[in-house]
Amino acid sequence: MVDREISRRDALKVGGVAAGAVGALALGTPARAKPWSWSPRGSVAGHGAGADPRTVWDPEADPVLADVLEHHNVNRINAELRTWTRNGQPVPKGLPGELRDFIEYARQLPAWTDHAKLAAGFEYNKKHGTIISALYAFASGMMATVIPNEARAVYYSKGGQFFKDRIAKTAKLGYDIGTPTAYQPDGQMIVTCVKTRMIHSAVRHLLPQSPHWPKEHIPISQDDLMVTWHSLPTTIMQKLTEWRIPTPHDESMGYLHGWQVCGHLLGIRDEYIPATWGQANAQAKQVLKPILAPTREGRALAQDLLSLGEQLDLTLLSKPILGAFTRFILGDRIADWIRVPREPVWSPLLEVSWAPFVAVRSGVLGVAPPMDNAYWMFDEFLRQFVLWYMAELHMPISIEIPQHNRHF
């Protein structure tokens, strides 16, 4: 079995080069105008072919999921996958053989996994998890609405039609990676990553069949995956650094390492995964910052996101307050793009009081300055945010293979 899996993987890698060459001709005008120049020497692999990631997808997963969608009972497969929730569980026996082989291969941690680093990363999450969770929502989640390829892929796929469910699944990824057993047998992060990788492959197969999608464009390239990856750990660490959150070197590298392993399990090639924060920032400067732009689809998704808190009757998760946090964290330009107005009370309050609040909360300042009302509101906001976040995670969340695009 092992020999068959390895030979299949090697054959698909060869096939992926050809697929990438053909796809490159069909991509049309790229959002990133400059040629690909980031060196694979800065990656966790330390070497690589150096191919432009816009011309590479996931040749290991894509043919398997295309076959599943075209020739198998996907409802039955999803029912089997619902029983697979823990990293150490056997892969369900009722799955088609090729899918089982792929999952067995895809669930393996990379050889460079460092469990001491993962433990240090958990310590960092434990200390600052509430603020990190808020940043996943307001930095990463809202940034996704101004990443044109991601916004369009979400909007026109099944995830755009059932957006609250899609957000809950994204929240699960952020929650799972912060748990002490994330990558251990009784954790769930490996399962979450592999199932998400399969969803990406299914979307690659389905979206070109949508009348609303340009048929010549293959969604969710390696470049798209890297852009989304940078909207998470790279953007989060940039904000934490800006807010002067205490970050010991070992915990900083541990936090990065957890996301490096996540990137590998999501199907990002090791030659594209940055080895250090310096390399991550350099790569993000090339692939993330230049492509941010407003789209009609992104604006619609942003408004959906800002309305989610109102469904739980939590007063500090109102649309204006969520909008104020979005503007404060992502800046005026992005807020203007997605038509988030400046909030007359919360926007100036955040600009004046958030930095000292975070300094007190993270132990940098021992005594709070005399702004009790503002500090209470910030603490209450984070409390209500965690209530909403945990309420979503306590709902049954099943990451399943989609069978159709968004219905209009």
Give the position of tokens 């909360």.
361
Measured distance CA(172)–CA(390) in Å, rounded: 10
Measured distance CA(59)–CA(125) in Å, rounded: 33
Amino acid of residue 209: Q
What's the confidence (pLDDT) of residue 30?
46
Answer yes or no: are the C-beta atoms of 289 and 147 closer than 8 Å: no
The number of helix segments (H) and strand segments (E) in the chain equals 19, 0
pTM: 0.90
Contacts of 380 (CB under 8 A, 6+ apart): 316
Element (H, E) at 186: none
Give the up-direction half-sphere exposure of residue 108: CA atoms within 13 A in the CB hemisphere. Answer: 11
What's the confidence (pLDDT) of residue 118?
98
Answer yes or no: are the C-beta atoms of 382 and 361 closer than 8 Å: no
Q: What is the mean pLDDT of each run of 10 residues along the chain (408 residues)?
A: 39 37 37 84 97 97 98 98 97 97 98 98 94 90 94 92 72 90 97 97 96 91 97 96 95 98 98 98 96 96 84 75 94 96 93 88 64 77 76 71 94
Q: Which two tokens stand for residue 272?
A: 């594209």
Label residue 384 exposed, middle or buried (CB < 10 Å: 0-12, 13-18, 19+).
Answer: middle
Other Cβ atoms within 10 Å of 335 Cβ, number: 22
Other Cβ atoms within 10 Å of 186 Cβ, number: 11
The DSSP letter of residue 90 is: P
Strands (E), 229-376: none
Phi and psi, residue 43, nearest 5°: -95, 175
Measured distance CA(119)–CA(125) in Å, rounded: 10
Closest C-alpha among 316, 353, 288 to residue 139: 288
SS3 percent helix, strand, coil of the chain, rounded to 5, is 65, 0, 30
Answer yes or no: are the C-beta atoms of 183 and 194 closer than 8 Å: no
Give the position of tokens 């909008």.
323
Q: Which two tokens stand for residue 74?
A: 């996907």
Other Cβ atoms within 10 Å of 14 Cβ, number: 10
Measured distance CA(250)–CA(299) in Å, rounded: 39
Measured distance CA(179)–CA(352) in Å, rounded: 33
Other Cβ atoms within 10 Å of 1 Cβ, number: 8
Label residue 98 exposed, middle or buried (CB < 10 Å: 0-12, 13-18, 19+).
Answer: middle
Give the position of tokens 């823990």.
86
Q: Would you list the domain boundaries of the chain?
A: 1-22+48-401
What's the confidence (pLDDT) of residue 395?
62
Give the position of tokens 């999450």.
125
